[in-house]
Amino acid sequence: MTPNDRKILVIGGGMSGLTTALEAAESGAQVVIVERSPYLGGRVTQLNKYFPKLCPPTCGLEINFRRIKTNPDITFYTQAEVTQVSGQEGNFDVTIKVKPRYVNDNCVACNKCAEVCPVERVNDFNYGLDKNKAAYLPFDMAFPLKYVIDDSVCLGSACAKCVEACTYNAIDLAMQPQTINVKVGAIALAGGWDLYDATKIDNLGFGTVKNVISNMQMERLASPNGPTEGRILRPSDGQEPKTVGFVQCAGSRDENHLPYCSYICCMASLKQVTYLREQDPEAKASIFYIDIRSPGRYEKFYWKVRDDENVQLIRGKVAKVTQEPGTDKVIVEAEDTTTGDKVRQTFDLVVLALGMVPATKAMKLPLNISYTEDGFVIPASLPPGVYAVGSLKSPLDVAKSVQEGTGAAIKCLQSLGGR
Amino acid sequence: MEKKIGFYVCKGCEIGQSLDIEGLLKVATKEGKIPVCKEHDVLCSPEGIKFLQDEIANEGVNTLIIAACSPRVKFEEFDFPGCLTERVNLRELVVWTHEPNHEETQALAEDYVRMGCAKAKKADLPEPYAGDPIDKTVLVIGGGITGCTAALEIAKLGYSAVLVEKEAELGGYGAKLYRQTPRNYPYQVPEEPVIFSKIKEVQAHPKIKVMTSSKVESTEGQPGLYDVVINTNGNLETIKIGAIILAAGWRPYDATKLGHLGYGLSPDVITNIQMEELANKGKILRPSDGREAKRVAFIQCAGSRDPEHLPYCSAFCCMTSLKQANYVRQLNDGLAYIIHKHMRTPGQYELFYKNMQNDPGVMLTKGDVTEVSLADNGNIYIHAENTQLGEKVKFEADLLVLATGLVPTTVDDPVTNLTYRQGLGLPDLDLYDGFADSNFICFQYETRRTGIYAAGCVRQPMDIATCMEDAAGAALKAVQCLEHTAKGIAVHPRAWDMTFPDPFMQRCTSCKRCTEECPFGAIDEDEKGTPYFKINRCRRCGTCMGACPERIISFKDLSVDIVGSMIKAMDVPEEGFRLLGVVCENDAYPALDAVGLHRLQYDPRIRFIPIRCLGSFNLVWIADALSRGIDGVLLLGCKFGEDYQCHFAKGSELANERLGKLQETLDRLALESERAMLVEVAIDDFDRIPKIIGDFIARVEEIGENPFKEF
């Protein structure tokens, strides 16, 4: 057995946290992962492809999940949060609260509970584009492959149809929250990010103008395991859009919303243009941008999309997104920042390139640390033995999350006292 | 180990309702000759696990064939210490994807049982590789910010590091800077360069040996057992090294190629590196006449993002020019003009950009520079169009700074000078514009040379803060490689794997296919030309096993014989079609599982065998299959080519090449080579798979039944 001071706590089971956890565990530490959602993998599980290689995130996750399955030094808790931390580097006492899943390890993912469940819920995994049942599997490649019951809508023991349907005794509607205490030597904070709330950006029409969607919704539409089985269809009538407008910096680089750049949105929109162009060789896309930010070797991906004759890049900040009267089309108005000319274009579908908000903006960690005005963790304020990784420190992409996650693992190991 | 095999079939998850369980037990007993064959209602339930534990304790079973769900689920439940577990996937591959209680479905399940029995009999429990004791010193090549940081991270973890720098002093380009761009919130002002304190720390650390004016002459051996010859001003010294961090850095793009931007026109057209040198003197004085520069222009992307020069963005130049504009304001009380195409200050660097935008002495505009010319007074004119200040504009500056980008050292020099059969440096760098980068977004430190991890600007264009993060990441991978090597287990992407290739060398014909094809250069040749396996370099993909025409390379749980036995165990009917699928276990196999989870149906006449990588696909299996009367062989592997997805780099591509060579063999047998084909699939392609299978079977049906059936 590894003593407690060889243990590391990783808060967050997304790409940053998973990487830190796995790299540390494969270097001799014991690791406890605490993840707020019912599955591991974080935001990348909702992406169709990664830029710039256009490969599916589940491929790397499959390797990572296999690393977890085969490694006895990793423990993880889903639907869990850290509520208390005391002590210091080398000897932290941590309290973890685990919400009831109402489904135990007997679950075989047979789907019987979902079949009989009478209650529907908004499918948060698909960013509200469809509904699923109160008893549900978050998505087909979920790890752990285990159903979960949403107690905010479940009718409870009054219904219990799922209990009856489950022949594996996997459902326990009386399951209680659990409190777990662990002692660890180091802590990695990798709480990740949330999508900026588009309804706060009045002029961009999200929620009021039909067929204005977020970039994450676009990922779900393009995913084979998404609400439309991988077809990009506009919400109002289920038709394939022939023209799509992408609004960059929707919230980001804007003093009224997010003063920083969200790092990923330029590359994400360029990538989403390739989804559209692959689906429909006739479809046209326009990207409204301030600067195209495709740093480093991402540049060539930008060139590939830019050189597509069905893609138009318009240098200008979007002023207004409105409904075309009497139709389901969307009007985008912008000012060309070079010429000062007004630009007005009509689209079948408009995608807002929404930025990222650190999870710590809404939910502070139970540690005495400082945050920027925008909610990012300030690394210099972290006590010894505590490290911040990934998008709660600054906006970044998957590659950089992996880079930071790997580096954080060596910092954690150093806190445990080296070899 | 003396094997006692038990066969256990689960009746849960519709298996019991959809299949004749008695029939399966009979196949395992009669044909598989498995001594203990039993059924259970739900094997993964607590009662089921208890039942299996009792079987191990009471029946002495140490090899379990679990005929239930996919090996990808309920992994821990069926993992019993000291026992070998073989999973027969009756759920995702059979009952969830085929018509219940149909004779074809039953035949499919029975074949999977036969194949599972065959494998359980041949496979062995893996034992780690017992190699020579290793040295855990890490060599860091390059003494810039990345190298210094990497050496310190390693030393702080208690390992020894040797830091080799080609120049006489540590520091690299980071030490030439007057200030560096801000790394910390609120990102308002440039910082003192961090490199000088790092150098002091490095020099003071007892675990770090610094070798300046030194280069790597040669690197021989394998992870844990490298002999590295260091050349210090002509003196050669051999040191024992366990792992290597390649932090050899970069050089500025050759500005003499930037004549179109005015370089060479006047001494007052300088690079951003020269600008740092000027700033370091306390006042920015024009090189031509020593006058204080009052109007300084900056042209961004000087060479970068230009198909004629560098096809990438150099990542730091926008922030650097903003920082240097700040020098102009602070040191000279001058004015700065920055002409850019896309200002790239990602993340919170935007806050620094904003701060500089708010400075009335800093003028920023988008624009395309059309010409740089000399004014009569010796000043420089910059002509630009499409600017935010007008369609055509002319700026006059008394100093022009070209924001030149970076070129990784690996473009000029292999640096590592490996004595590997496959070459001196890291392979495939042209795929990454010359950088020693990883191919994998989700695994940033993968190179095709185990034990060698690149970091910093030799890996990707990046700024100082990122270099420091990157150094820590590479340092972790280096020490992790040492610890895995010491234990005799694989490193990423099969970090759990205790198996290793074990060639039966007596039968080796020295054909060298394995040494040529190994994606990781793990196999060299001795003086006689006989392949020599350097196991510590091996990533366990099995490409050597697939390449070997003599079929002599085996792993404990995968060999040409094991898969051949599985193929031979299949029941091939005298009439009707029977097909074999061989699939990559990391991507195609999970996609097949997902087909099951989505309850999509496909043709029941094909049986799938997962292998660790299609690189381990041996052509003899096609001969095995066709000579048995199997009508066609379908390979499902990862995308290959420029944006390849194979985690062993070359596996699916090599399998495809081998298929290309099959023609001749099959012609001799009077068989059509179209009976075998490879289809590239990704892990999320579940929706495509039923059609891929259907199309392949239709193609084979068109060719007709295998004439060997009659024999």
Instruction: Tell whether A403 lies on the interface with B, counting CB pairs under 8 A.
Output: yes
Say which CATH number the domain at A249 has.
3.50.50.60
Cβ–Cβ under 8 Å, residues B142 and B458: yes
Residue type for A415, please? S
Give yes or no: residues B608 and B644 share one domain: yes
- What pLDDT is attached to residue A5? 64
Give yes or no: residues B617 and B694 share one domain: yes
CA distance readout (Å), B99 to B13, B113, B691: 14, 18, 17
CA distance readout (Å), A357 to A260, A351, A402: 10, 18, 19
- Alpha-carbon gap, residue B24 to B10, rounded angstroms: 11
| B440 to chain A, closest Cα gap in Å | 8
Closest residue, chain A, to B432 (C-alpha): A297
Question: Is B554 part of any domain?
Answer: no
Question: Is A107 part of any domain?
Answer: no
Instruction: Tell whether B346 lies on the interface with A, counting CB pairs under 8 A.
Output: yes
Question: Is A317 part of any domain?
Answer: yes
Lowest mean pLDDT among A75-89, A108-122, A336-350: A336-350
Give yes or no: residues A334 and A285 share one domain: yes
Instruction: Tell whether A407 lies on the interface with B, counting CB pairs under 8 A.
Output: yes
- Contact residues, chain B, for A249 at CB < 8 Å: none
- What pLDDT is attached to residue B68? 98
CA neighbours closer than 13 Å in the CB half-sphere of residue B41: 8
Report angle CA B380, B384, B390 to the nearest 5 degrees.
120
Alpha carbon B416 to its chain's center: 19
Last residue of a domain, one of B125, B149, B170: B125
Closest residue, chain A, to B388 (C-alpha): A338
Give yes or no: residues A327 and A239 share one domain: yes
Give yes or no: residues B419 and B399 share one domain: no
Last residue of a domain, one of B404, B423, B446: B404
- Contact residues, chain A, for B307 at CB < 8 Å: 303
Residue contact A108–B12, C-beta within 8 A: yes
- What pLDDT is attached to residue A72? 96
CB under 8 A, 24+ apart: contacts of B254-259: B254/B407, B255/B302, B255/B303, B255/B402, B255/B404, B257/B303, B257/B309, B258/B302, B258/B303, B258/B309, B258/B402, B258/B404
Give yes or no: residues B415 and B395 share one domain: no
Give yes or no: residues A262 and A398 share one domain: no
Give yes or no: residues B570 and B665 share one domain: yes
- Alpha-carbon gap, residue B477 to A384, rounded angstroms: 23
Band of the pLDDT at A2, cuts 50, 70, 90?
very low
- What pLDDT is attached to residue A418? 56
Domain that holds residue B237: 138-251+408-487
Last residue of a domain, one of A314, A333, A354: A354
A interface test, pick of B338, B476, B642, B688 with most A CB neighbours within 10 Å: B476
CA distance readout (Å), A33 to A16, A190, A289, A404, B444: 11, 10, 38, 17, 21
- Contact residues, chain B, for A393 at CB < 8 Å: none
Say which CATH number the domain at B296 has.
3.50.50.60
Q: List all residues of chain A from 56 to 115 with a beta carbon under 8 Å from chain B.
A: 56-64, 66-67, 69-71, 106, 108-110
- In this structure, the number of other CB atoms found within 10 A of the CB of residue B486 comes to 17
- What pLDDT is attached to residue B682? 97
The b-or-e profile of B8-29 (16+ CB within 10 A means b, else e) is bbbbbbebbebbebeebbebbe
Residues near B698 by Cβ (< 8 Å), separated by ≥ 6? none
| B40 to chain A, closest Cα gap in Å | 13
- Alpha-carbon gap, residue B334 to B4, rounded angstroms: 85
Residue contact A297–B432, C-beta within 8 A: yes
Indicate the SS3 state at residue B435.
coil
CA distance readout (Å), A207 to A199, A214, A352, B373, B625: 6, 10, 12, 53, 58
A interface test, pick of B319, B348, B428 with most A CB neighbours within 10 Å: B348
Give yes or no: residues A157 and A212 share one domain: no
Domain that holds residue A282: 197-354
Tell me how many domains chain A contains.
Answer: 3
Residue contact A55–B348, C-beta within 8 A: no
Indicate the SS3 state at residue B59.
helix
In the numeric block, which tokens belong to residue B686?
């579940």
Question: Is A104 part of any domain?
Answer: no
Give yes or no: residues A298 and A367 share one domain: no
Does the pLDDT value for residue A284 go beyond 90? yes
Tell me how many domains chain B contains.
Answer: 5
Give yes or no: residues B161 and B271 share one domain: no
In the numeric block, which tokens belong to residue A201?
């950006």
| B63 to chain A, closest Cα gap in Å | 18
CA distance readout (Å), B699 to B619, B632, B658, B677: 20, 9, 20, 10
Mean pLDDT of A368-379: 97
B interface test, pick of A304, A403, A404 with most B CB neighbours within 10 Å: A403
In the numeric block, which tokens belong to residue B255?
């500005």
- What pLDDT is attached to residue B710? 65
Closest CA to B203 of B170, B166, B228: B170
- Contact residues, chain B, for A64 at CB < 8 Å: 442
Residue contact A419–B159, C-beta within 8 A: yes
Instruction: Tell whether A165 lies on the interface with B, counting CB pairs under 8 A.
Output: no
Cβ–Cβ under 8 Å, residues B330 and B356: no
- Contact residues, chain B, for A220 at CB < 8 Å: none
Closest CA to A316 of A339, A284, A350, A349: A339
Give yes or no: residues B710 and B564 share one domain: yes
- Contact residues, chain A, for B469 at CB < 8 Å: 403-404, 407
H or E segment and range at residue B640: none
Question: Is B356 part of any domain?
Answer: yes
Give yes or no: residues B320 and B430 share one domain: no
Closest CA to B653 of B667, B668, B637, B665: B637
Question: Is A170 part of any domain?
Answer: no
Q: What is the DSSP string of B318-376?
A: HHHHHHHHHHHHHHH--EEEEEESS----GGGHHHHHHHHT-TTEEEEE-EEEEEEE-T
Give yes or no: residues A374 and A235 share one domain: no
Closest CA to B209 of B136, B167, B151, B157: B151
Question: Is A59 part of any domain?
Answer: yes
Give yes or no: residues B709 and B666 share one domain: yes
Question: Is B497 part of any domain?
Answer: no
Q: Residue A213's beta-bridge partner residues? A: A351
Indicate the SS3 state at residue B592.
helix
Q: Which of A108, A141, A299 is the closest to B311 by Cβ?
A: A299
Question: Is A377 part of any domain?
Answer: yes
- Alpha-carbon gap, residue B126 to A35, rounded angstroms: 33
Q: Residue A311's beta-bridge partner residues? A: A285
Instruction: Report pTM.
Output: 0.97
- Contact residues, chain B, for A56 at CB < 8 Å: 682-684
Give yes or no: residues A230 and A147 share one domain: no
CA-atom Rg of chain B in angstroms: 31
Residue contact B348–A145, C-beta within 8 A: no
Contact pairs from chain A to chain B, CB under 8 Å: 234
Question: Is B78 part of any domain?
Answer: yes
In the numeric block, which tokens belong to residue B437?
């980068």
pLDDT digits (tens, 9 = 90+) for A286-300: 999 999 999 999 999
| A304 to chain B, closest Cα gap in Å | 12
Residue contact A26–B466, C-beta within 8 A: no
In the numeric block, which tokens belong to residue A113?
């509970």
CA distance readout (Å), A179 to A75, A95, A98, B308, B387: 15, 7, 6, 61, 61
Does the pLDDT value for residue A419 go beyond 50? no
Give yes or no: residues A183 and A297 share one domain: no
- Alpha-carbon gap, residue B571 to B542, rounded angstroms: 27
CA distance readout (Å), B94 to B50, B70, B106, B587: 26, 10, 9, 19
B interface test, pick of A110, A143, A171, A291 with most B CB neighbours within 10 Å: A291
A interface test, pick of B79, B355, B480 with most A CB neighbours within 10 Å: B480
Give yes or no: residues A344 and A362 share one domain: no
| B357 to chain A, closest Cα gap in Å | 13
Question: Is B197 part of any domain?
Answer: yes
Q: What is the average pLDDT score of chain A?
A: 96
Spans of chain B below 50 pLDDT: none
Give yes or no: residues A225 and A150 share one domain: no
Q: List all residues of chain B from 350 to 369 with a beta carbon under 8 Å from chain A.
A: 350-351, 354, 366
Say which CATH number the domain at B706 has.
3.40.50
Instruction: Tell whether A170 lies on the interface with B, counting CB pairs under 8 A.
Output: no
Give yes or no: residues B236 and B185 share one domain: yes
- Contact residues, chain A, for B184 at CB < 8 Å: 378-380
Cβ–Cβ under 8 Å, residues B148 and B199: yes
Residues near B675 by Cβ (< 8 Å), separated by ≥ 6? B622, B626, B631, B632, B633, B666, B700, B703, B706
Give yes or no: residues A40 and A189 share one domain: yes
3 state SS for B82-146: CCEEEEEECHHHHHCCCCCCCHHHHHHHHHHHHHHHHHHHHCCCCCCCCCCCCCCCEEEECCCHH
Question: Is A394 part of any domain?
Answer: yes
Instruction: Tell whether A222 lies on the interface with B, counting CB pairs under 8 A.
Output: no
Give yes or no: residues B238 and B272 share one domain: no
Residue contact A295–B461, C-beta within 8 A: yes
Give yes or no: residues A239 and A343 share one domain: yes
Residue contact A410–B495, C-beta within 8 A: no
Instruction: Tell whether A35 lies on the interface with B, counting CB pairs under 8 A.
Output: no
Residue contact A168–B42, C-beta within 8 A: yes
- Contact residues, chain A, for B80 at CB < 8 Å: none
- In this structure, the number of other CB atoms found within 10 A of the CB of residue B53 comes to 11
- Contact residues, chain B, for A294 at CB < 8 Å: 313
Give yes or no: residues B563 and B711 share one domain: yes
- Alpha-carbon gap, residue B315 to B710, rounded angstroms: 66
Q: Which of B42, B683, B685 is the closest to A62 by Cβ?
A: B683
Q: What is the DSSP string of B185-221?
A: TT--S-B--SHHHHHHHHHH-TTEEEE-SEEEEEEES
